[in-house]
Structure 1
Amino acid sequence: MRKKIQDIANWLNVDAGKYGDILVTGVSIDTRTINEGELFIPFRGEKTNGHKYVPQAFEKGASCSLWMKDEPHPPKDVPLLFVDDSESALQQMARKYREELQASFIGITGSNGKTSSKDILASLLSPFYKVQKTIGNFNNELGLPLTILSLDEDTEMAVLEMGMSGFGEIEFLSNLAKPHYAIITNIGEAHMQELGSREGIAKAKFEIINGFDAEGVLCYDGDEPLLRDLVERTPQLKTKSFGFQSGNDLTVRKIETTEKGSRFIVEGELNGEFFIPVLGKHQVKNTLGAMLVAKAIGLSEEQIRQGLSQVSLTDMRMQLVPLGDLLFINDAYNAAPTSMKAAIEFLQSTSMRKDKWLVLGDMLELGEKEREFHEQLANYIDEQKISKICLFGPRMEWLYHRLAPKFPGRILHTKEDYGKIIDEIKQHATKDSLILLKGSRGMKLETVLKAFQ
């Protein structure tokens, strides 16, 4: 974004004072990372008040700052835009900038696989368009506006991740981004505590269509009956379905996994063999949604094949990490029952190495059924295929009691001591070991990996 202070003042319907001709080259909410020429946005939080950092922002080269009208003692002789509320002002700036951009916008939501789908689609499109995507997890009511305002004016494809914890949040983000295309990856159990049921989760994710462009296309997991039902109740909506079951617009017929990635055959909207340098049946499914969007945008089958061959995922998502003789799969970014089952299924089916280890951490934000969800994982773990199990966190004690009789001498549980798991791996893992790390973000299972780096 490159705008004069006067342009931003017009967006916000406020007075630019005598500073209207000064150029703004971006926005920042953090003086630790602010760049020269950016507009600083201070927030009032529970622990700190961002207004006290405004002088520091100017010392570091900020061109301007917002200042909330009810905040006393504004600094003098610096460019300030006085607003009622910093968060609302940020969102209004993003809304106005979005209106000026010519890029195609793609929104991605779902219980699991949002970030992977974002990475896959951005990689797929990058050889043919100027693409920008959500960085990190900037996917909420603050992160999405910051992402939009970070887009270059000549960006052609904006791939935006949209997260939520309650009803109305995806609708707000969709109305802000006004996507031309959207993907709903799946419906899981995360945020059950706030939304009450999987039906509630599906309705909340489906809000992504509320800000749709008139010609918008929704690509969704057609294996999920809850999404199929919502699509059938919205006949005016343009949709494409993907999945493993027959009847989808794009269906997988065969998947082969190697240490280099996944080779798979599809039929329907696209046909033939494709390859992604990514592990996991669930990542192939994420790829299907990206392929449908790419085809809707206008890429040929060969272009899609070319784009997929150079896919790169954000770290800690089915990431192969060789360390000495050991081979880890770092999938520790997050976990919910659906993604946990998918990772376990992959480990049990792969032939990469024979000695297979599960290192699993608590799944968080599951509400009243959290015990049931943890215990149910036992139904998916085969004592003939898994050599060792290490469980981390207080909730994993429920799974431990279910599995202990089936894994005598082969299972460990600790509520908070990473060291016990690290020692177990050091003592018993070999050059034949493949070790999967999977848990919710708050469990920080990558700590185990760091002990071997």
Structure 2
Amino acid sequence: MKKTIEQVAKWLDVKTNLKGIEITGVSINTRTLKAGDLFVPFRGEKVNGHLYVRHAIEAGAAAALWQRDEPSPPDDLPILIVDDCQKALQEMARAYRDELAVTVIGITGSNGKTSTKDLVASVLKPYFKVQKTQGNFNNELGLPLTILSLEEDTKFAVLEMGMSGFGQIQFLSELARPDYAVITNIGEAHMQDLGSREGIAQAKFEITAGLETHGKLFYDGDEPLLKPFVENFPQAVSFGFDDNNELTVTDIRATENGSTFMVSGIIDATFTIPVLGQHQVKNTLSAILIALEAGLTEEDIRKSLKDAALTDMRMQMIPAKDGATFINDAYNAAPSSMKAALNFIRETTMKEDKWVVLGDMLELGDQEREYHEAIEKSINSEINGVCLYGPRMEWLYTKLQDSFEGKLIWSKDDYQPIIDFLGKSISAKSVILVKGSRGMALENIIEPFTED
């Protein structure tokens, strides 16, 4: 973004006497602020960003916003007075989006949002200028910041959209106005806020609220809960494992380099991605559909998918010092993604000695015990050992005690017993799946086996 302070003031419909100041970015954090940024202060429960406005200017910010009801605005600093700093940030993003000639791809879903974002960006990046959501900047603050970070000549913006309640995805969609929207799946995350999987489906479908009239929705056609919403939505295109989808996938094979699979329907072809897991192959289908919309050929898509790069902790293969292989899928977890990861480890032929390290699944509401106990159905004799971490995993531990005597451990809040147990149990013949919600930080169990 490169705008004058007068242009920003016009976006916000505020008066200013400031002139000759160029704004080249927006920041809400003085620690990551860059010279030329407009600093936007927020009042939180513990920190009031207005206390850092002077420091931000001294650190190189070109100007700052100041909320009208905040006392003592400095008259010696370049500031714009606004009624509400959060709404001002969102309004700036809305105005900037209106000026850009960019194709916006919005992605939501219970699981796989970040992986799908990475796959879509990877397939387009060799041929176009692409920017994508960084980290977890996918909410009512992060999405506006992402839009305001777009360079004016960006061709595709791949924007992740997260939520915890009704109306949030609608707001983000109407702000970003996607040309293409993706719903990866409907899981159980945020059940405590949305009440049911039907409620989650309704909330995810809100991504169509801002979809451009010429736009298309690509959705998980294997999910029956989405069917009532897409029946009267002519721009919807389905993908998945079921033969009835408009793009379907078969013959998925795990290799040392990732996954090879065949697709049929809208396009008939074979592709390879450097990622493991059927659920990641399914995520790739929407990337293929968007690549076709962008005018890429089958060979273009094949080349770029072969080198696709995913954010860490998504079915990430990590070699251990002793020759074992960890599969780090510990960025997040819900019952559906847990089941998918366990299906992979059972079916893989990578190595013969198969272990799982599982952490609590969070935000499941009143049914959390039921969901944790149900994991037992995805663990059988093909898995040689099980390590469980977190207070909720005690429910699963109780279920498995008779089946994995001597090859089962549970720790409520200490990684070390699991690290010691694995250290005595695994070898170069072992592959270890690590899966849990982000709050469980299971990467701490992997680190001792990979450090020099």
Q: Same fold, TM exceeding 0.5? A: yes
SS in 1 for 2:181: strand
Asked if 1 retains the 8 angstrom alpha-carbon contact of 2:40 and 2:85, the reply is yes
**Which residue of 2 is the match for residue 378 of structure 1?**
376
Q: 1:356: Cα distance to partner?
A: 0.8
**Which residue of 1 is the match for residue 214 of structure 2?**
215
**Which residue of 2 is the match for residue 150 of structure 1?**
149
**Which residue of 2 is the match for residue 107 of structure 1?**
106
The count of residues paired between Structure 1 and Structure 2 equals: 449
Q: 1:326: Cα distance to partner?
A: 2.1
Q: 1:16: Cα distance to partner?
A: 2.3
In structure 2, what is the Cα distance between the partners aligned to 1:296 and 1:200? 30
In structure 2, what is the Cα distance between the partners aligned to 1:220 and 1:290? 11
Identity of aligned residues (%): 60
Q: 1:258: Cα distance to partner?
A: 1.1
**Which residue of 2 is the match for residue 350 of structure 1?**
348
Q: 1:450: Cα distance to partner?
A: 1.8
Give the partner amino acid of 2:13: N
Unpaired segments ≥5 residues, structure 2: none
**Which residue of 2 is the match for residue 336 of structure 1?**
334
Deviations 1:158-216 (A, max 9, x none): 00000000000000000000000011000000011011111100000000001010011
Q: 1:50: Cα distance to partner?
A: 0.6
Q: 1:295: Cα distance to partner?
A: 1.2
Counterparts of residues 26-105 of structure 1 (less than 5 Å): 26-105=25-104
**Which residue of 2 is the match for residue 318 of structure 1?**
315
Deviations 1:422-450 (A, max 9, x none): 11111111111111110001000011112
In structure 1, what is the Cα distance between the partners aligned to 2:130 and 2:225? 32
Give the partner amino acid of 1:100: E
Q: 1:302: Cα distance to partner?
A: 1.6
**Which residue of 1 is the match for residue 360 of structure 2?**
362
Tell me, yes or no, if structure 1 residue 270 matches structure 2 residue 274.
no
Tell me, yes or no, if structure 1 residue 172 matches structure 2 residue 207.
no
Asked if 1 retains the 8 angstrom alpha-carbon contact of 2:269 and 2:298, the reply is no
**Which residue of 2 is the match for residue 193 of structure 1?**
192
Q: 1:301: Cα distance to partner?
A: 1.5
Asked if 1 retains the 8 angstrom alpha-carbon contact of 2:107 and 2:161, the reply is yes
In structure 1, what is the Cα distance between the partners aligned to 2:333 and 2:293? 31
**Which residue of 2 is the match for residue 10 of structure 1?**
10
In structure 1, what is the Cα distance between the partners aligned to 2:352 and 2:104? 44
In structure 2, what is the Cα distance between the partners aligned to 1:448 and 1:243? 34
TM-score norm. by structure 2 comes to 0.98
Tell me, yes or no, if structure 1 residue 443 matches structure 2 residue 419.
no
Tell me, yes or no, if structure 1 residue 202 matches structure 2 residue 201.
yes
SS in 2 for 1:96: helix
**Which residue of 2 is the match for residue 22 of structure 1?**
21
Q: 1:269: Cα distance to partner?
A: 0.6
In structure 2, what is the Cα distance between the partners aligned to 1:143 and 1:78? 26
SS in 2 for 1:255: strand
SS in 2 for 1:402: helix
Tell me, yes or no, if structure 1 residue 227 matches structure 2 residue 226.
yes
SS in 2 for 1:106: strand
Q: 1:108: Cα distance to partner?
A: 0.2
In structure 2, what is the Cα distance between the partners aligned to 1:156 and 1:272? 26
Deviations 1:80-115 (A, max 9, x none): 000111100000000000000001000000000000
In structure 1, what is the Cα distance between the partners aligned to 2:73 and 2:227? 54
Deviation >4 Å, runs of 4+: none
Asked if 1 retains the 8 angstrom alpha-carbon contact of 2:351 and 2:430, the reply is yes
Q: 1:297: Cα distance to partner?
A: 2.4
Q: 1:229: Cα distance to partner?
A: 2.2
SS in 2 for 1:451: helix
Q: 1:77: Cα distance to partner?
A: 1.6
Q: 1:56: Cα distance to partner?
A: 0.9
Give the partner amino acid of 1:101: L
Give the partner amino acid of 1:3: K
In structure 2, what is the Cα distance between the partners aligned to 1:238 and 1:70? 45
In structure 1, what is the Cα distance between the partners aligned to 2:383 and 2:244? 34
Counterparts of residues 284-303 of structure 1 (less than 5 Å): 284-303=281-300
Deviations 1:372-423 (A, max 9, x none): 00000001111x2111100000000011111111111111001001001111
SS in 2 for 1:424: helix
Q: 1:15: Cα distance to partner?
A: 1.8
**Which residue of 2 is the match for residue 183 of structure 1?**
182
In structure 2, what is the Cα distance between the partners aligned to 1:259 and 1:448? 23
